[in-house]
Amino acid sequence: MSYECDCPVGADGIFCKHAVAVAFSWLENAGEEVFHIDELAPAKPRKKRKTYEELIREYVTGLSEEALRELLLDAVERDITLRDKLLFAARAASADDLPSMKAAVHQATRASHPLDWREAGAYGDGLMSLAGMLRQRLAGPHAAQVVELAEVAIAGAEKSLEQIDDSGGDVMPAIMELAAVHLEACRQTRPDPSKLAERLFRFQTEGVWDTFYDVLPAYAQALEERGMQRYRTLVTSAWDRLPDLAPSKEFRRSFEPLRMRLDRAMEALAEGDGDVDALVRIRSKDLSSPYRFLLVAELCVLHKRFDEGLNWAERGLSEFSSNVDQRLLTFCIQEYLRRGEFAKADAFAWQRFELHPSAEGFAALMDVASATSHQEETRTRALGYLWERVRIEEAPTKAKRSSWQAGTRTELLKIALSEREYVTAWETFCGGPVATHMWAQMAVIRAKTHPHDAIALYHRLLPIAADNGTQKARYDEAFRVVKTIGSLRAKLKEDALFVEELKTIRETFRAKRNFMKLLASLE
């Protein structure tokens, strides 16, 4: 049997408590035993073990009704979720008055204390059960109550969510299931359209959790014409009161919750009307950031209004010339390529490259150059531009970068490696500082043709890998570096050199005990 665990005890090679727990779990769930190899007689085949569920089901089947009742009541005293579920079912079965049902729903959705992520799952399960029972009620004589009951349930659950750690995502899906029941109930029972419109508008604009973020088109059928008119009046009136936002550096104004919700409601109305002009007007009410211009431009292109879209994009670039958004440049590039105006596409592509002079930016620039058939001149210009940046960055008067910071030389190395120009890559690497996260990749490639260079590079990389191991209490990366040096020495038939190197490495890193244990396996 072999084992491995990353806990402090397991890292020292000891069979820790976690390994013991895994072994017991395997024996329990697989139902297998460990046998010695030297056993002569085969053991009798074991009877298949019953699962816990099978054992409990078999036991419960033989109980009397009274015993089952006592077991259930005992469980209810210990399990709040089960208690609330049965309480709601009991009231739903016996009560036809709305106040009693609302009290039951309120009890089912109330969190009596803050719940951490471990308790959130049970609460979410309870909401799912509540949604299921409300859906069942839709098929009975009190279906008309479900709309209001669902609204009470959603309000209670949202209030409780304020003190629940839902990082596991157990509660919000259950709330959305309650919202789905609400929609079904509205479609089936058709409550007063005007009053429904008023409530939906309030839920949409005031809800903290955006459960009703999208009212339309889902509720259009239930609202009918009268409700739609009332809803439109409420939304339009509130949206008209919002101030127009001109180009500004204050980007956060666009993210006001009420503004976002009203914008979404207005867009849904315009989409339902098929009114593109209204959509443009809605989106252009807020032009406080470059991205807002992009949203209008994309909308125009979506509806084949290309000239208008390009105009919005270029206007956004002009308004924010000191804070250019790369996405606007990309939009203009694509549009000029579509038009066949290659000179303008190249110009915008170069502007984008200057914003992000990286290997990724170089690849994007060359994609455009390939489309415009200007590969050679663009490549020469771009590489010249990058090397000029290297000259400036590595000037003696410049402050030195951290070994982890990616300067322009590092980007040139990435470009050479991506193009498989390995000689150029090595020359670039040796010519100046390169971010250390590129060293291992360079060493692997160099080892194929110049193993001694790779060995020297691995020796430079080893202290960095060992320091990383100190921070994480694991030395796998450093150990791989040492093993790679050993493999290269073996291929070169320089085993004696590796023995000396290993002695030096042990002496240098003797304080790192866990690293020493790994190195001992190489003897």
**Which string of DSSP letters, residue by residue, matches 129-171?**
HHHHHHHHHTTSTTGGGHHHHHHHHHHHHHHHHTTB--TTS-S
Most confidently modeled of 99-108, 416-425, 462-471?
Answer: 416-425
Q: How far is it, in rounded angstroms, from Cα 248 to Cα 287? A: 8
Tens-digit pLDDT profile for residues 460-474: 999 999 988 766 668
* pLDDT at position 431 over 60: yes
Q: Work out the angle at residue 210's Cα, subtended by the Cα atoms of residues 209 and 215, and round it to the nearest 5 degrees.
A: 155
Residue 245's DSSP bridge partners are 286
Q: How far is it, in rounded angstroms, from Cα 111 to Cα 24? A: 37
Cβ-proximal residues to 398 (8 Å cutoff; 6+ apart), any chain: 392
What 401-405 contacts at long range (C-beta under 8 Å, 24+ apart), as own/partner pairs, is: 401/433, 403/433, 403/435, 403/436, 403/464, 404/435, 404/436, 404/437, 405/435
pLDDT at 56: 86
Question: Residue 115, SS3?
Answer: strand
Q: Rounded to the nearest 10 degrees, what angle do helices 422-430 and 439-447 cross at?
A: 130
Q: Is the bond preceding 433 in cis, omega lying within 30 degrees of 0?
A: no
Q: Is 357 exposed, middle or buried (0-12, 13-18, 19+ CB in 10 A)?
A: middle
pLDDT at 408: 95
Higher pLDDT, 11 or 68: 68
| pTM for the full predicted model | 0.76
Contact indicator for 462, 453 with CB cutoff of 8 Å:
no
* pLDDT at position 351 over 60: yes
Element (H, E) at 470: helix 451-472
Cβ-proximal residues to 77 (8 Å cutoff; 6+ apart), any chain: 83
Q: How far is it, in rounded angstroms, from Cα 263 to Cα 292? A: 12
Q: How far is it, in rounded angstroms, from Cα 319 to Cα 311? A: 12
72: tokens are 């259930």
Tens-digit pLDDT profile for residues 248-257: 766 555 578 9
Residue 10's DSSP bridge partners are none
SS (H, E, C) 413-466: HHHHHHCCCHHHHHHHHHCCCCCHHHHHHHHHHHHCCCHHHHHHHHHHHHHHHH
Mean per-residue pLDDT over the chain, rounded: 89
Higher pLDDT, 57 or 369: 369
Q: How far is it, in rounded angstroms, from Cα 431 to Cα 444? A: 19
Tens-digit pLDDT profile for residues 384-403: 999 999 999 999 886 665 55
Q: Where are the domains of the chain?
A: 1-48, 435-523
Q: Work out the angle at residue 515's Cα, subtended by the Cα atoms of residues 509 and 519, and round it to the nearest 5 degrees.
A: 95
Residue 497 — φ and ψ, nearest 5°?
Answer: -65, -40
Q: pLDDT category, 37, cuts 50, 70, 90?
A: very low
* pLDDT at position 89 over 90: no
pLDDT at 198: 98
* pLDDT at position 331 over 70: yes
pLDDT at 1: 59
What 146-150 contacts at long range (C-beta under 8 Å, 24+ apart), as own/partner pairs, is: 146/181, 146/182, 146/185, 146/189, 147/182, 147/185, 147/186, 147/189, 147/191, 147/196, 148/98, 148/102, 149/98, 149/101, 149/102, 149/105, 150/178, 150/179, 150/181, 150/182, 150/185
Question: How large is the C-alpha radius of gyration of the chain?
Answer: 34
pLDDT at 67: 87
* pLDDT at position 77 over 90: no
Q: Work out the angle at residue 161's Cα, subtended by the Cα atoms of residues 159 and 164, and round it to the nearest 5 degrees.
A: 135
Q: How much is the average pLDDT of 178-204?
A: 98
- Among 41-55, 76-90, 107-121, 488-502, which stretch is predicted with the lowest mean pLDDT? 41-55
Residue 191 — φ and ψ, nearest 5°?
Answer: -70, 170
Q: Assign residue 444 a region: left if phi > 0, alpha if psi is -120 to 50, beta otherwise?
A: alpha
Cα of first residue to Cα of last residue in the chain, in angstroms, is 23
Cβ-proximal residues to 256 (8 Å cutoff; 6+ apart), any chain: none
Q: How far is it, in rounded angstroms, from Cα 142 to Cα 97? A: 9
- Among 54-58, 90-94, 296-300, 512-516, which stretch is predicted with the lowest mean pLDDT? 90-94
Question: Residue 286, SS3?
Answer: strand
Question: Residue 245, SS3?
Answer: strand
Helices of type H across 138-284: 146-161, 172-189, 193-206, 220-240, 257-273, 276-283
Amino acid at site 112: S
Q: pLDDT category, 79, cuts 50, 70, 90?
A: confident
SS (H, E, C) 67-101: HHHHHHHHHHHHCHHHHHHHHHHHHHHHCCCHHHH
76 to 73, 85, 117, 350: CA distances (angstroms): 5, 10, 22, 70
